[in-house]
Amino acid sequence: MNYEPNEQGYWGEYGGRFVPETLVAPLDELTSGYFAVRDDPGFHAEFQDLLQNYVGRPSPLYYAKRLSETLGGAKIYLKREDLNHTGAHKINNCIGQILLARRMGKKRIIAETGAGQHGVATATVCALFGLECVVYMGTEDMRRQELNVFRMRLLGAEVRGVDSGSCTLKDAINEALRDWVTNVDTTYYLLGSALGPHPYPLMVRDFQSVIGREARDQIIEKEGRLPDVLVACVGGGSNSIGLFHPFLNDNVRMIGVEAGGRGETLGEHAARFMAAGRVGVLQGTKSYLLQDNDGQIALTHSVSAGLDYASIGPEHAYLHDMNRVEYASANDEDALAAFSTLSETEGIIPALESSHAVAHAIKIAPEMSANDIMIVNLSGRGDKDVNTVQEEFVKRNI
Ligand SMILES: *Cc1c(COP(=O)(O)O)cnc(C)c1O
């Protein structure tokens, strides 16, 4: 199987394009722009060159010996996306899309950001190419993520506060879409996860698949065989699909870990595949969603901002229904404990998002044998989270 969406961007019943008429032409232009470079060796050479010399790829595949031995089960390898320039996997996608924007002749880049991580990665690649950058961000998120706002401004981006609705990510997305429709001739909309209308979920997955391609080569070199299981956290779904995709046709078990938050009640978590998850449309794509009985999008909670989202990329919805990928959740407590465990056993402070994947590894590794190999995607580093974790520890008297 090739796991490609059809021409309309559907994986089974998921994906597609649910947008106002005004966005159809810009998305068509983007789709033909992307398909023009998708198999172009010149484009890929440029992409690879920047990944190597600017991002610092390939990221190491590191055998976490002390963690593995402490747990007493599977041999755990960490794919070190935390070592990338800007500290997470998001830069891979931003490099790919900025190169596409240049090919399409766009001089102005817009993006939306929740916690600010995607905004920082976008501002970074705009500085790299001297392109104008406008980042939409809810004013509530700006208040919570003051340091990332400052980072974006240092990088030369304009951060536009959005104070409609709940003043968070979904309101910022609406403003960014409004801007795009108005300025489509000059402007490229750089979306940050494997979400949104076609072709974004496909394009973001393609750019992030460098993670899985490298991991595949690296594990074969180190162990002479494929791993038994892959584990990655799932927000919108980009780091996980990037790791999983190159292994989909192999006999490898895969587990996506969602944010279990404070509990299983709707509103207290961001686990779209838990009982409350239903199929619907959000931000241009059809997928699993957290919604209440009236079809209203539910509030979500997670200690990690990057996993705190009501929907999940459409390819994940498809892989879930086919039972090709398993989905589990780790709650706030599990993630905080994993954050400490990895810091103490390996000297690696993980992002809170990645801590959810580590938490699941900690849970299942002891049930596996010492001959089993697990790869955990360490999607980002935890420097951005130390203040949050400190506050959470104080609350718990840790
Ligand atoms: C944004 C983010 C995530 C979640 O996004 P995905 O698209 O699901 O990968 C996970 N980890 C880190 C470090 C992030 O910054």
Q: What contacts 313, CB < 8 A, 6 or more positions away? A: 193, 194, 195, 201, 204, 205, 236, 237, 238, 241, 285, 287
- Expressed in angstroms and rounded, the spacing between residue 233 Cα and the centre of ligand 1 is 7
At 276 the pLDDT is 63
Confidence of residue 35 (pLDDT cuts 50, 70, 90): very high
Beta bridge partner(s), residue 380: 88
Evaluate if residue 275 carries a pLDDT over 80: no
In this predicted structure, what is the pLDDT of residue 346? 98
Q: So which residues are the catalytic ones?
A: 90, 112, 379
CB count in 10 Å sphere of residue 294? 5
User: Which atom of ligand 1 lies closest to the CA of 235?
Assistant: 8
Q: Which residue's alpha carbon is nearest to atom 1 within ligand 1? A: 306
pTM of the complete model: 0.97
What average pLDDT does the structure give for the chain?
A: 96
Each residue's pLDDT tens digit, 91-103: 999 999 999 999 9
> What pLDDT is stored for residue 171 in this prediction?
87
CA dihedral 215, 64, 58, 108 (to 10 degrees): 100
The helix or strand, by DSSP H or E, that contains position 344, with its residue range, turns out to be helix 332-346
Tokens of 130: 């001297």
CA of 380 to the centre of ligand 1 (A): 8
The number of the ligand 1 atom at minimal distance from the alpha carbon of 193 is: 7
Per-residue pLDDT tens for 162-207?
998 888 888 899 999 999 999 999 999 999 999 999 999 999 999 9
Q: Is the CB of 91 under 6 A from ligand 1?
A: no
- 209-225 pLDDT, tens digit per residue, is 999 999 999 999 999 99
pLDDT mean over 41-46: 98
Question: How far does residue 22's CA lie from ligand 1's centre (Å)?
Answer: 30
Q: Which atom of ligand 1 is nearest to the CA of 117?
A: 15
pLDDT of amino acid 2: 81
The larger pLDDT score, comparing residue 140 to residue 49, is at 49
- Residue 377 CB–ligand 1 contact under 6 Å: no
